[in-house]
Structure 1
Amino acid sequence: MTIAANLKDIRQQIEAACRRCGRDSRDVRLVAVSKKKPAAAIEAAFMAGQKLFGESYVQEFCDKQEQIDQPLEWHFIGGLQSNKVKYLRGRTALIHSVDRLSLAREISRQWQKIGQRADILLQFNLGREASKSGADENQALELARAVSELPGLQIRGLMTLPPWDEEPERVRPYFRRLRELAGEIEAAGLPDVRMEELSMGMSHDFEVAIEEGATLIRVGTAIFGARD
């Protein structure tokens, strides 16, 4: 199948998932995960109506952004080292992967240099997997409170990458927990903290994520095919 056909199929699945749980499909945005895919594939997706793309590697993202002359919305979704933040400065609409105060401080510092504010999501490792980034949920309020005090950025929601399972129903509890965590943070009434985005769900489990409240689903393989 072509990228355009894949996108059409995914949009239909999003619509169906929203109907099942009584949500408006306009409240769910598809992030096309284009890491390790060429600029030509991104261009093809754009021509098929996709405007929002997610990249995971700083250098690759910068290279592609310079190659593509289209009005795309770029999100950074991968693990981020503090010393690489300066390369993203002013170039991303949303950073999904803020999992520690030191990283938030550097984002704040870099965006203040250009007089802008960075929109970020706090990432939590709900499965407590050593191989994955993400803060501990037990420190959620403490982290959100500390980050909220920094100038130059705004927390707009949460992100998680649950343990892999071929059966989507078995990861539902992780998606539900992220939604609950967002509610707990929102109830704290922290300044400049808005729990309006939940970034969760990938190619094989995004329908369950939508049923549990996802507003951003990160889909790569189902759009572009397997990565090398």
Structure 2
Amino acid sequence: MVDMTQLTDRMQEVERRIAEACERSGRKRDDVHVIAVTKYVSLQTAEEAYRLGLHHLGENRWQDAQRKWEAISGPEAEGQNGQAVWHFIGSLQTNKAKDVIGKFTYIHSLDRLSLAQAINKQASQLAIKVPCFIQVNISGEDSKHGLPPEQVRDFLAELRNYPHLQPVGLMTMAPYETEAQATRPIFRALRQLRDELNEQVALEQPLTELSMGMSNDFEVAIEEGATWIRLGTILVGKEG
């Protein structure tokens, strides 16, 4: 069973910490959006999180997300259709684009032209435009997905060939650090890269978003300009 009190308490504590990080950095609270990462919790917990007001939901794999999406946003969902906003935050295989596009509003892991082509093809068939974050491997770790920073400018230019994609910002995953402050240079570098790209590349619309910060480092990410933070364990918990 879902412990509603525990879930509510976690939400309130996270909200307090977000507000304090915004105050420290002189930012407006409304500029920071929370994605509840539900990949490690049950369908029941995801539904309760949604009912408690966590309407931005993040998942890494369609095969794990499918039951949750169908229950919360699918045709059979009871009075909830269209209200949840789904974010695909994991590495997306090109052959899974057909399952994800049209169900997930945002893609946070665009990192190669073959994926851009697959997303564009499916979005074209649905007559929609998909907001995408370009995933950048700022830390240079072999274990991390994403483009090297020096390749993002040319990649953005290539995306002009895919009219059903809308680049909205950049995403990165910082290395896990025991001391959250150690992640600051990673988040700062992503913000600086976004600002440089806006100056250097002729874009249809400027890149405004930064998807960065997770349970262990979200406060530092906010202080460095995150507009979307991806919170799992610290917010909705972990089961199993």
Residue 11 (structure 2) aligned to one of 4, 7, 26 = 7
Provide the secondary structure at the position in 2 that maps to 1:2: helix
Q: Are the equivalent residues in 2 in contact too, given 1:75–1:93 (CA < 8 A)?
A: yes
Q: RMSD of aligned C-alpha atoms?
A: 1.2
Give the CA deviation at 1:189: 3.9
Residue 165 (structure 1) aligned to one of 177, 181, 197 = 177
Residue 185 (structure 1) aligned to one of 197, 210, 215 = 197
Matched, 1:17 2:51: no
Distance in 2, matches of 1:122 and 1:227, equals: 30
One-letter amino acid of the structure 2 residue matched with residue 178 of structure 1: L
Distance in 2, matches of 1:48 and 1:11, equals: 13
Residue 143 (structure 1) aligned to one of 155, 166, 177 = 155
- Which residue does the alignment assign to 1:134? 146
Distance in 2, matches of 1:25 and 1:81, equals: 34
One-letter amino acid of the structure 1 residue matched with residue 139 of structure 2: G
Q: Please give the TM-score of this superposition, normalised by the length of structure 1.
A: 0.96
Provide the secondary structure at the position in 1 that maps to 2:189: helix
Distance in 1, matches of 2:163 and 2:236, equals: 38
- Which residue does the alignment assign to 1:33? 37
Q: Are the equivalent residues in 1 in contact too, given 2:153–2:201 (CA < 8 A)?
A: no
Give 5+ residue unaligned stretches, structure 2.
none
For residues 1-228 of structure 1, what are the structure 2 equivalents within 5 Å? 2-68=6-72, 69=77, 70=80, 71-228=83-240
Distance in 1, matches of 2:173 and 2:199, equals: 23
Give the CA deviation at 1:179: 0.2
Tell me: CA distance 1:29–1:56, structure 2 relative to 1, closer, same or farther (3 Å).
same
| Count of residues in correspondence between the two structures | 228
Q: Are the equivalent residues in 1 in contact too, given 2:157–2:201 (CA < 8 A)?
A: no
Distance in 1, matches of 2:51 and 2:120, equals: 34
One-letter amino acid of the structure 2 residue matched with residue 83 of structure 1: N
Give the CA deviation at 1:227: 4.6
